[in-house]
Structure formats: structure tokens, C-alpha cells
Amino acid sequence: MTPVEVLTKIKDFLISDGMIATDEAAQSYIDNRASEWDITEDIISEVGGDELVYVIVEELKNEVEKQLTTGTITDKTQYFI
């Protein structure tokens, strides 16, 4: 799996889970966060592409849940705006 494939899987999850409504919005979000995640071929080969997708998606879910719980946001899609 390549870094682009990992990012595509994350984007697809965000859309399928209803966190982001459109492909364009999901791509914009991914473009903004990709540098933070620093997904490289070395990391993918060490951790595994699917596992890396899982870890990032779970972290995003945790961030959203925390903000929902604290009342910072009232809808999970607000986190991604």
C-alpha cells in the first residue's frame, strides 16, 4: 500500500461514516491533515497500511467524540469544517 492509498482509504471512511458529506470536502480535509500524519512508505511497511488507516480513523473518532462530549461541537460533521 502506498501513502496515497492510505489517505484514500481514510477519505473513503470519512465519507462512508457520514463524517464528511462530499468527496471534495473529504479531500480538502485530507490535504490539510496529511502533513500532520506523516504517512511514509517506511511507516506503512513497518505498521501495515490497513493498520495505519485503522489507527488514524480511530484517533479521528476519538477527537470527534471528545468534542461532542465537551459540547465544543454538537454534530460530528462540525469537527471537519
Over residues 44-49, the mean pLDDT reads: 96
Predicted pLDDT at 76: 85
Catalogue the long-range contacts made by 46-53 (C-beta closer than 8 Å, 24 or more residues apart): 48/1, 49/1, 49/5, 49/6, 49/9, 50/1, 50/9, 52/6, 53/6, 53/9, 53/10, 53/13
Res 21: pLDDT: 87
How sure is the predictor about 79, in pLDDT bands with cuts at 50, 70 and 90?
Answer: confident
CA distance 40 to 61: 22
